[in-house]
Amino acid sequence: MPEVYAARRERLRDRFSVGGSATALVSRPANVRYLAGAAPQDAVLLVGTDEDVLLCTGPPDDEFIDGRPDEAVRLQVVSGGDPALAGADLAAAQGADSLAVEEHHLTVARHRALAHVAPRLRLTGLGGAVEQLRLVKDEDEIALLRIGAEIVDQALSELLESILVGRTERHLALELERRLIDHGADGPAFTTSVGTGPNSGRPGHRPTDRRVEEGDFLSVCLGATYRGYRCEIGRTFVIGTSPADWQIELYDLVFAAQRAGRQALAPGAACRDVDRAARQVLDSAGYGGGLAPSTGHGVGLEIDEDPQLAPTAMGKLDACVPVTVEPGVHLPGRGGVRIDDTLVVRPEADGGPELLTITTKELLAL
């Protein structure tokens, strides 16, 4: 659907005064992909005065979201050299007098080189303009996230049917990633995290050679990329026949926090209030000190994008914004619990938040 990309570029022109003799150079890969339908390696997109040009160092054939380039974007292969510099050259040749760049993505050195290549162009800042456009998803984007969520649910459910005791975190993570691919994912959305025993519940834990033991908490966090869109799920299980009392207590607490966060999701809700809903459950049980700085974040073409659900976050949620809700507690030396879902903010009238990751959140003893 190349029209989608053309419409997005129009919105960028309309809302951020790119047009006339003002041009923009988009360099952040997810932003390039959002606006052009493809982000081949090192690609930049010139949103120009008379045409839009995708400049890259190689052919983009297997990188297109829907398998087709946006025909309204001309493709220019720059062999040897920085496509951004070629883009600035081109903007100057189109008669532009300014070029807005992504200062939060371009390095100081590249920015200086741009100024050198096209000295007559005034370099301005595009800010997070494209990121803002990306916040609210259309139903086609949400459909891709939904498929990604089905894939992570399937991969996880198959793992749970296998024997876990004695296997290492690394092998479990690899097996999950293989199953993601088996079920049609482009690949994992991020490095799969599997934590056992004392490693369980640690945010961002990198799998080690520790083996699953009876009585362990086992926490898993994995994500799938499906046609560019990334979603995630996190669950915690107990290994063995019956969980210990402290495990049940901690699990119930994190579950209550995660539910409170989910229930706070609504169009118009302040991001910090969603965070607070989840955080205060853990806080009031005395776990406030060691918590992660956020309890959730947006997902889409990147696995961690705006909005942030954090105490200092600004802004409110809109309908059709997909986010994670993922509070957790980790007790050093003992382990912990994380529960993580991907949901889409929906109005009450449409049934409230849409849960994409539907694997049960009961405490399973495996």
**Alpha-carbon torsion, ordered 37, 76, 31, 179, to 10 deg:** 50
Does residue 289 belong to the site contacting its own copies (CB under 8 A)?
Answer: no
Residue 241 has phi, psi (to 5 degrees) of: -80, -45
Does residue 121 belong to the site contacting its own copies (CB under 8 A)?
Answer: no
Does residue 111 belong to the site contacting its own copies (CB under 8 A)?
Answer: yes
For the record, the structure tokens of 235 come out as 């669950």
Number of residues assigned to the chain = 366
Q: How is residue 236 annotated by DSSP?
A: E
Residue 235 beta carbon to its own copies: minimum distance, rounded to whole angstroms: 22
For the record, the structure tokens of 119 come out as 């000295």
Q: How is residue 31 annotated by DSSP?
A: H
Residue 182 beta carbon to its own copies: minimum distance, rounded to whole angstroms: 8
Please select the residue that binds its own copies; options are 68, 116, 122, 178, rule is CB under 8 A.
178
CA 233 from centre of chain:
12
Does residue 67 belong to the site contacting its own copies (CB under 8 A)?
Answer: no
Does residue 79 belong to the site contacting its own copies (CB under 8 A)?
Answer: yes
Does residue 204 belong to the site contacting its own copies (CB under 8 A)?
Answer: yes
Contact call for residues 25 and 44 (beta carbons, < 8 A): yes
Does residue 293 belong to the site contacting its own copies (CB under 8 A)?
Answer: yes
Place of tokens 């089905």: 150
151/146 Cα distance (integer angstroms): 9
Residue 220 beta carbon to its own copies: minimum distance, rounded to whole angstroms: 17
Does residue 20 belong to the site contacting its own copies (CB under 8 A)?
Answer: no
Place of tokens 């049934």: 351
**Based on CB atoms, which residue is closest to its own copies, 67 or 240?**
67
Does residue 58 belong to the site contacting its own copies (CB under 8 A)?
Answer: yes
Residue 330 beta carbon to its own copies: minimum distance, rounded to whole angstroms: 11
**Based on CB atoms, which residue is closest to its own copies, 142 or 218?**
218
Does residue 13 belong to the site contacting its own copies (CB under 8 A)?
Answer: no
Q: Is the dihedral of CA 207, 363, 297, 2 positive or negative?
A: positive
Q: Is the dihedral of CA 27, 33, 34, 37 positive or negative?
A: positive
Contact call for residues 195 and 164 (beta carbons, < 8 A): no
**Based on CB atoms, which residue is closest to its own copies, 95 or 315?**
315
Please select the residue that binds its own copies; options are 18, 36, 53, 106, rule is CB under 8 A.
106
Q: Which stretch binds its own copies (CB under 8 A): 133-141, 201-209, 221-229, 270-278?
A: 201-209
Contact set with its own copies (CB under 8 A): 41, 57-58, 62-63, 79-80, 101, 103-112, 125, 170-171, 174, 177-178, 181, 203-206, 208, 293, 310, 312
